[in-house]
Amino acid sequence: MNDFMKKKYSRRRFIKNVALTTAGLSLGPYIHLGKAHAFVPVKRSMGRLNFEATTLGLGGQASLQWTPSDEDPVKIILKALDSGINYYDTSNFYDGSQLNYGKAFRKLHLIPEQPGYNERLRRSIFLTSKTCLRFGKGGWQKQGLISATNGSGKHAADDLRRTLSQIFGDGQGGYPKGAYLDMILMHMVTSVEDMDALYEGYNHTDPKAETIGTLATLIDFRDGTNVTGLNPKEEKLVRHIGFSGHASPAVMMEMIHRDTRGVLDGMLVAMNANDRNYFNMQYNVIPVAEANNMGVIAMKVFADGAMYDKPAVWTRGAHMVNRRVGSEKLPSKKLVEYSLTTPGIHTAIIGIGHIDDDPAACQLKQNFLAAQINPSDLSVSDRREIEGLALNAKEGQTNYFQVEKQSLGAVRHLSVAQEMDDRKRMADLNWQTAYAGDEPIVRYEIWRDNMKVGQVAHKPQVSRTPFVFKEALSDTAAHHYKILTVDAVGRTAETEDALLSEI
């Protein structure tokens, strides 16, 4: 190994990469018909989802949704399972994706109440679907509110039952007893209006209410209760509830903060090597989800193909599905590694456009090999190098789904008050977290009358409980306070002065 390679790779990583490159030529199935094989894929524990997921999950789009005439989506699912992948993604919003899972699951004997049902295999995989519906009952129309149905129904329970019917049942609404999802995500949470709808009735659920949001409804189907009046059979159809977001980390952070009951167990988030060119997820919402012990799943690793040939727009058909493995200027392996070494990420779902008997041309095999990486295997400089490579794709402007870049922000909702504590005058400051720019926040500095009087270390704000700073004062005069947000490279953003009145 030359000096450059010695600098770039540790001996441990070099040996592992050689082993995986060799494995790419002969990698066999991990579990097939109950037989164990030598290759054991890397797995990560997904927080309170209580599941160890393979670092690559099968995405429900690409050829599973928009199927080219010469591709077989069922074979893609079967190959994924045969390879040892155990996390599976789909959605009511993905055309025929759920029906393709249904066909594959029948071949795998994963249908409850059918002869040969393999319950052990079913429990070994984690199946997630999604709904874009915002209400369990009633509803309203408002600008900024996503209300896409894609033919699934009017309310959230319709989507949940539709998923179970398409994957495990007759596709017409019926599903067998014992069918369940491991998780359902409230999909594409983009705006305050989305959150208002989803959380309607969450804190005070009244079955007589005209409108009930999706979250309260899904809780009933998770717990087997009928608090909403929408689950009269008290069915347990889903084990975990989560949400997804492509666009705004600020909205997604608020989505978590509103969950005062700790219902949200998982988060699906856009994460790729161009993340820092936008209002980024990796320094904002991902640390909050991680601190809440949520399972965190990355998506858009290749920006839905926009890292390669596809325009930076939403995919609209099979002709836009990427079916080749990376490019010389931007190896797909690097992009997979970047997402999976982002702190807080447990697994990455990637849609597969093409599988092939030739390992070098097989997206599934190459992505799976690239995913055999541990969270700390890349240094910060390694990640910056990959970000540089990603600039080859449309000058880094691939993430059409993400809010535009923002600078480091000042803290929000600064409040300054005073109180007497054992005859001592105390200044009491509290605030909500600032939003990070393209570097992480490290601390907040407290300044009184243009003099620094203290600091508070930044940490992910897991709830609406604010940051707090208290200072004893020895006088009765008025004072002006401000707070400076400081990031990892020393940049600052400050609040306007806040007046503490004299007493």
Q: Phi, psi (5° rounding) for residue 383? A: -65, -40
Q: 23, 316 in Cβ contact below 8 A?
A: no
Provide the residue type at 118 as one letter.
Answer: N
Domains and CATH numbers, the chain: 3-396 (3.20.20.100), 412-500 (2.60.40.10)
Q: Does residue 291 surpass a pLDDT of 90? A: yes
Q: Does residue 410 surpass a pLDDT of 90? A: yes
Q: Could you report the per-residue pLDDT of 231-244, keeping only the tens digit for each? A: 999 999 999 999 99
pLDDT at residue number 152: 60
Q: What is the mean pLDDT of residues 351-374?
A: 98
In the structure encoding, which two tokens stand for residue 67, read together? Answer: 């199927």
pLDDT at residue number 23: 43
Q: What is the mean pLDDT of residues 33-37?
A: 48
* Helix axis angle, 380-390 to 332-340, nearest 10°: 130
Q: Does residue 115 surpass a pLDDT of 70? A: yes
How buried is 263 (Cβ within 10 angstroms: 0-12 exposed, 13-18 middle, 19+ buried)? Answer: middle
**β-strand 479-487 against 492-494: which pairing, if any?**
antiparallel
Q: 134, 213 in Cβ contact below 8 A?
A: yes
CA 233 – CA 221 distance, rounded (Å): 10
- Could you give the percent of the chain with pLDDT greater than 90? 88
CA 161 – CA 221 distance, rounded (Å): 10
Rounded to the nearest integer, the mean pLDDT of the chain is: 92
How many residues are present in the chain? 503
Q: pLDDT tier at 174 (50, 70, 90 boundaries)?
A: very high
DSSP secondary structure code for residue 404 in this structure: B
Q: Could you report the per-residue pLDDT of 242-287, keeping only the tens digit for each? A: 999 999 999 999 999 999 999 999 999 999 999 999 999 999 999 9
3-state secondary structure of 464: coil
Q: What is the mean pLDDT of residues 433-445?
A: 98
pLDDT at residue number 154: 85
How buried is 62 (Cβ within 10 angstroms: 0-12 exposed, 13-18 middle, 19+ buried)? Answer: buried
CA 255 – CA 265 distance, rounded (Å): 12
Provide the residue type at 49 as one letter.
Answer: L
CA 194 – CA 112 distance, rounded (Å): 35
pLDDT at residue number 38: 62
Q: Could you report the per-residue pLDDT of 365-404, keeping only the tens digit for each? A: 999 999 999 999 999 999 999 999 999 999 999 999 999 9
Q: Which of 79, 67, 84 is nearest to 107 (CA)?
A: 79
How buried is 489 (Cβ within 10 angstroms: 0-12 exposed, 13-18 middle, 19+ buried)? Answer: exposed
Q: Could you report the per-residue pLDDT of 123-166, keeping only the tens digit for each? A: 999 999 999 999 999 999 888 888 665 556 689 999 999 999 99
* Helix axis angle, 214-223 to 156-168, nearest 10°: 50
Q: 192, 130 in Cβ contact below 8 A?
A: no
Q: Does residue 289 surpass a pLDDT of 80? A: yes
